[in-house]
Amino acid sequence: MNKYNEEAAQPILKELKDWTFNDNGIEKKFVFKNFSKALGFIVQLGLLAEKQNHHPELFNVYNKVDIRLSTHDANGLTDKDFDLAKAIEKLL
């Protein structure tokens, strides 16, 4: 499993709107119209993550959802994280 450092991740991050590298993972903050929209997004994301067997770290307050992706068994950023981030973008 290939691991990415910040430098190696940059070309792929350019393809992902507003995702940033942080502490051996990638993160993005989402803002929705209200709590219901944020929760609906989280549910869709949960189903997607379960299909990929790759589960993000999620934090939600009202209409805001923060996502962090890092492959814990690899102790860093891998293709699994980028694949899930690309799939998350398609939910919007």
pTM of the model: 0.94
- What is residue 87's three-state secondary structure? helix
pLDDT tens digits, residue range 13-34? 999 999 999 999 999 999 999 9
Q: Which helix (H) or strand (E) holds 20?
A: strand 20-22
pLDDT tens digits, residue range 33-45? 999 999 999 999 9
DSSP 23-59: TTEEEEEEE-SSHHHHHHHHHHHHHHHHHHT---EEE
As a whole number of angstroms, the distance between CA 79 and CA 67 comes to 16
Superfamily in which the 25-91 domain is placed by CATH = Transcriptional coactivator/pterin dehydratase (3.30.1360.20)
